[in-house]
Amino acid sequence: MNETEDGRRKTEGGQSIMTDLAASPTTTIYRKPGASKGIWSWITTVDHKRIGVMYGYAAFFFFILGGIEALLLRVHLAQANSEF
């Protein structure tokens, strides 16, 4: 088999076939975010498992925050005419 100048191989029948792979397209519309470690990878993730973990942490955080606010409100209302 012979090679032509543009990198193709010639078969015995004289037909040429491509030997190189086509370059992959470089579209940026659906490209996955590049960070694989750190906080930025958690913020920009599209992985449903990571999103579920973040959802759980956010729910727990706001549950604790709401409890703290409820305690502050009860402390405020424990005395008559108290100002906070």
pLDDT per residue as tens digits for the range 23-54: 666 666 766 656 778 888 888 888 899 999 99
CA distances from 72 to 13, 38, 67, 75, 84 (A): 88, 35, 9, 5, 9
pLDDT of residue 69: 97
Lowest-pLDDT range of 2-16, 32-46, 69-83: 2-16
Burial string for 37-60 (b: 16+ CB within 10 Å, else e) reads: eeeeeeeebeeeeeeeeeeeeeee
Residue 2 has pLDDT above 80, yes or no: no
Kindly report the average pLDDT of the chain as a whole number: 79
The pTM for the full model equals: 0.54
